[in-house]
Amino acid sequence: MKTLRFILGDQLSRSVSALGGIDPARDVVLMVEVQAEATYVRHHPQKIVLVLSAMRHFAESLRAEGISVDYVRLDAAGNTGSFTGELGRALDRHKVGRIVVTAPGEWRVRDMMQTWKAAFGVPVEIRDDDRFLCTSSEFADWAKGRKGFRMEHFYRQMRRKTGWLMQDGQPEGGAWNYDAQNRKALPEGTVPPARRRFAPDAVTREVMGLVGRRFADHFGDLQSFGWGVTRDDAREALRFFIANCLPGFGDYQDAMKAGEDWLFHAALSPYLNIGLLLPAELCRAALDAYRQGTAPLPAVEGFIRQILGWREYVRGIYWLKMPAYAQSNFLDANRPLPAFYWTAETDLKCLREAVAATRRNAYAHHIQRLMLTGNFALLAGIAPAQVEAWYLSVYADAFEWVELPNTHGMALYADGGLLGSKPYAASGAYINRMSDYCAGCVYDPKTKLGPKACPFNYLYWHFLIVNEARLKPNPRMALPYRTLARMTDEHRRQIVQAARGFLGRLESRSG
Ligand SMILES: Cc1cc2nc3c(=O)[nH]c(=O)nc-3n(C[C@H](O)[C@H](O)[C@H](O)COP(=O)(O)OP(=O)(O)OC[C@H]3O[C@@H](n4cnc5c(N)ncnc54)[C@H](O)[C@@H]3O)c2cc1C
Ligand code: SF4
């Protein structure tokens, strides 16, 4: 039976399930560039270029194998602008007995797929996305009957299942987790490896022209595009990371430095999330480096935990809890997103650096996302939906299954502790310890009140004060609440006054 195999822009893996059992002599692969997917949030232009250029290269690689690919470009005449519209038009071009797809990464698209059989009268087979290390049903089994869903417990189960960094049933080196050793600030004079960027080829340049014309008003620089767009590029980026960055990844995982956009991070998430790399090959490459003695155990364990642990875990939470998950707002946070998230115009230097890096690269590393833009949104009580729309727009690796739990759960605690055991709230002292930003800031991280006081300081205590009823019962918040209890009423009043003044000024500039 002739089959239409519909491949989405984040399914660019030759091993993707929708291509399983393909008969090149009979079947057709459908790939479509549609306006709706580029604009349902206003994606960073680099993300749009990455996805479209990688799709075009992937289509060519299938054609080189003799597979027939029906590829609809964004500017093709008659392009309806939506998946459903383009599928309907493709079915007019090809008489097929069935449609095969791989389950998408977003709830929104899964809902759409479920309408296709009735809309077109053709059977639609939605296959599991088996590029992950844990299936949704396996995760649901793990979660069944549990009171809390701690990532650490899930991660240990995944270590046992894969046997990675395990010896005779025990964790390699005697500990499951070397996080405590992975929290060093960057020593002065340390120069992180210069990052390998990819010069745009002719296909990418053509896409950049198209994106520049169509999405000129989206946040983000286009001309600094340097992402790889093929599997070969992505494998090259992986090799570079393993050889040059992995040895320092553990030590400086939480560090931040002005002007250093990548530090020792992998910068591989965009490739992983669109399928140019697979999670198992990243973990195996790190394990090989450990066995060969070129990367230490804490770095390799830390890296594997991000992929085998966090990445699989947030995906599990997403499919287990959506669509209700996105609706919760445990802290009743309702302020509008400040304008500086789009303009980088703020005198808080740390935030200015994080937003500027995001604009330059469609990338910020985890600690910038969590402890700067995320922490600020948490402390300032910004409405979760607005923060989530920002995160989904601005990063090249942003797809809802991974962005939403990280933002809603980890950064904003909007799920009330389903994902994290306590809010990742921090004052200026943390940022000062982990970065060199404060040295060049108009504020002083050691000053608590007054015009020079770092706003993170009074916002932190204000956050604890306004959320006391919700957060004080959490045993993991006992320490800060004991400190708060020792403050005089007058001191509390001054904190509230400083925070309200700052937030009022911020709100008047929101956009
Ligand atoms: C508020 C917020 C929003 C985020 N949004 C996204 C997003 O849209 N897409 C995305 O891929 N990641 C997201 N993350 C997770 C993480 O910040 C990025 O995966 C990471 O910064 C990507 O850069 P890297 O490849 O250099 O990662 P590294 O720090 O080098 O980590 C290696 C790999 O581990 C995986 N990883 C690490 N942490 C996480 C995590 N918390 N969740 C899932 N995977 C993880 C990534 O695939 C990453 O490539 C978000 C985190 C926060 C706090
Ligand atoms: S002083 Fe405060 S606002 Fe300024 S860089 Fe440091 S933490 Fe950020």
Tell me the per-residue pLDDT of 41-97, one tens digit each, with 9 for 90 and over: 999 999 999 999 999 999 999 999 999 999 999 999 999 999 999 999 999 999 999
Residue 372 CB–ligand 2 contact under 6 Å = no
Q: Which two tokens stand for residue 379?
A: 């402390």
Please tell me if the CB atom of residue 408 comes closer than 6 angstroms to any atom of ligand 1: no
Angle of helix 136-143 relative to helix 151-162, nearest 10 degrees?
A: 120
Pairing between strand 170-171 and 166-167?
antiparallel
CA pair distance 369, 354, nearest whole angstrom: 8
Torsion of CA 217, 223, 224, 225, to 10 degrees: 90
Q: Ligand 2 pocket check: which of 376, 454, 458, 459 to mutate, most ligand atoms within 8 Å of Cβ? A: 454
154 lines ligand 2 (CB under 6 A): no
**Rounded to whole angstroms, how far apart are CA atoms 114 and 372?**
39
Q: Given this model, what pLDDT does residue 362 score?
A: 98
pLDDT given for residue 181 in this prediction: 80
Distance 406 CA to ligand 1 centre (A): 8
Q: Which ligand is nearest to the CA of 348?
A: 2
Q: What is the pLDDT along the chain (511 residues), one digit of tens a residue?
A: 899 999 999 999 999 999 999 999 999 999 999 999 988 899 999 999 999 999 999 999 999 999 999 999 999 999 999 999 999 999 999 999 999 999 999 999 999 999 999 999 999 999 999 999 999 999 999 999 998 899 999 999 999 999 999 999 999 999 999 988 878 889 988 999 998 899 999 999 999 999 999 999 999 999 999 999 999 999 999 999 999 999 999 889 899 999 999 999 999 999 999 999 999 999 999 999 999 999 999 999 999 999 999 999 999 999 999 999 999 999 999 999 999 999 999 999 999 999 999 999 999 999 999 999 999 999 999 999 999 999 999 999 999 999 999 999 999 999 999 999 999 999 999 999 999 999 989 999 999 999 999 999 999 999 999 999 999 999 999 999 999 999 999 999 999 999 999 999 998 876 5
Q: Is the CB of 457 under 6 A from ligand 2?
A: no
407 CA closest ligand 1 atom index: 1
The side-by-side arrangement of strands in the sheet containing 28-32 is 68-72, 28-32, 3-6, 98-102, 124-127
pTM confidence score:
0.97
pLDDT of residue 250: 85
| Ligand 2 in reach of 445 Cβ (< 6 A) | yes
405-428 pLDDT, tens digit each: 999 999 999 999 999 999 999 999
Residue among 432, 452, 458 to mutate when testing ligand 2 (max atoms within 8 A of CB): 432
Task: Output b/e per residue, 471-492; b: 16+ Cβ within 10 A.
Answer: beeeeebeebeeebeeeeeeee
Nearest to 310 by CA among 354, 366, 393, 238: 366
Nearest to 238 by CA among 307, 176, 166: 307
pLDDT of 510 reads 60
Question: Which letter does DSSP use for residue 180 in this model?
Answer: G
